[in-house]
Amino acid sequence: MAEEGAPKKRPGGRSARIHQAVLKSAFDELSKSGFRDFSIADVAARAGVHETSIYRRWGSREALALDASLHFADDAIAIPDTGVLKTDLMEIMQSAIRLLGTPRGQAMLALVELRDDNMQRLKRAYWRERFSRLRPVFDRAIKRGEFPADADPIIFLETLVAPLYFRLLVSMEAPSSWPLDEQVDRLLKAYVS
Amino acid sequence: MAEEGAPKKRPGGRSARIHQAVLKSAFDELSKSGFRDFSIADVAARAGVHETSIYRRWGSREALALDASLHFADDAIAIPDTGVLKTDLMEIMQSAIRLLGTPRGQAMLALVELRDDNMQRLKRAYWRERFSRLRPVFDRAIKRGEFPADADPIIFLETLVAPLYFRLLVSMEAPSSWPLDEQVDRLLKAYVS
Give A80's pLDDT tier (boundaries 50, 70, 90): very high
Q: Under an 8 A CB cutoff, do A189 and B189 touch?
A: yes
- pTM metric for this prediction: 0.81
- Is the CB of A191 inside 8 Å of chain B's CB atoms? yes
Nearest-by-CA chain B residue for A187: B190
Which carries the bigger pLDDT value, residue A87 or residue A35? A87
Nearest to B189 among A120, A179, A190 (CB): A190
Q: Is the pLDDT of residue A11 over 60?
A: no
Q: What is the pLDDT of residue A16?
A: 86
Q: What is the pLDDT of residue A1?
A: 40
- Measured distance CA(A66)–CA(A114) in Å, rounded: 9
Pairwise CB contact (< 8 Å): A159 & B159: yes
In terms of pLDDT, which residue wins out, A56 or B130? Answer: A56
Task: Verify whether the Cβ–Cβ distance B123 to A172 is below 8 Å.
Answer: yes
Element (H, E) at B10: none
pLDDT score for B3: 41
* A155 contacts on B by Cβ (under 8 Å): 178-179, 183
Q: For the segment A102-145, what is each residue's pLDDT rounded down to a tens digit?
A: 877 887 788 888 888 877 887 888 888 889 889 999 999 999 99
> Cβ of A129 under 8 Å from any chain B Cβ?
no
Q: Determine the average pLDDT of the residues in A88-111.
A: 88
The residue type found at B161 is V
A 10 A CB-CB count for A166 gives: 25
Contacts by A122-129 with C-beta closer than 8 Å and gap 24+?
Answer: A122/A1, A122/A62, A122/A63, A122/A66, A123/A66, A123/B170, A123/B171, A123/B172, A124/B171, A124/B172, A124/B173, A125/A1, A126/A1, A126/A2, A126/A66, A126/A70, A127/B170, A127/B171, A127/B172, A127/B173, A129/A1, A129/A2, A129/A3
Q: How confident is the model at residue A46 (pLDDT cuts 50, 70, 90)?
A: very high
How much is the pLDDT for B6?
Answer: 42
Residues B104/B179, Cβ–Cβ less than 8 Å: no
Q: For residue A155, what pLDDT is reported?
A: 96
Beta carbon pairs, A and B, within 8 Å: 90
With an 8 Å Cβ cutoff, is A186 touching chain B?
Answer: yes
- Minimum Cα–Cα distance from B159: chain A residue: A163
Distance from CA of B97 to the nearest CA of A (A): 15
Q: Calculate mean pLDDT across residues A28-46.
A: 86
- According to the model, what pLDDT value does residue A193 have? 67
| pLDDT tens digits in sequence order for chain B, 193 residues long | 444 444 444 456 888 888 999 999 998 888 787 777 889 999 999 999 999 999 999 998 888 988 887 787 777 778 999 999 999 999 999 999 998 888 778 877 888 888 888 778 878 988 888 898 899 999 999 999 999 999 999 999 999 999 999 999 999 999 999 999 999 999 999 988 6
* pLDDT at res. B1: 40
Count of helices and strands (H, E) across chain B: 10, 0
| pLDDT at residue B174 in the model | 93
Q: Judge: B127–A171 Cβ closer than 8 Å, yes or no.
A: yes
Closest-CA residue of chain A to B129: A171
* Interacting residues of B167 by C-beta distance below 8 A, sequence separation 6+: A158, B173, B174, B175, B178
Q: What is the pLDDT of residue B11?
A: 56
Test B193 with A189 for CB contact under 8 angstroms.
Answer: yes
The arithmetic mean of pLDDT across residues A33-56, rounded, is 91
B170 contact residues in A (CB cutoff 8 A): 112, 123, 127, 165, 169
pLDDT at B74: 73
For A171-193, what is each residue's pLDDT tens digit?
999 999 999 999 999 999 998 86
More confident residue, B130 or A7: B130
Is residue A4 over pLDDT 50? Answer: no
Tell me the shortest Cα–Cα distance from A7 to chain B, in angstroms. 25
Chain-chain contact of B172 with A113 (C-beta, under 8 angstroms): no
Nearest CB to A187 within list B112, B173, B190: B190
Contact map slice: B 69-128 vs A, CB within 8 A: 112-113, 120-121, 123-124, 127
CB B187 within 8 A of CB B160: yes
Q: What value does the mean pLDDT of chain A take? A: 87
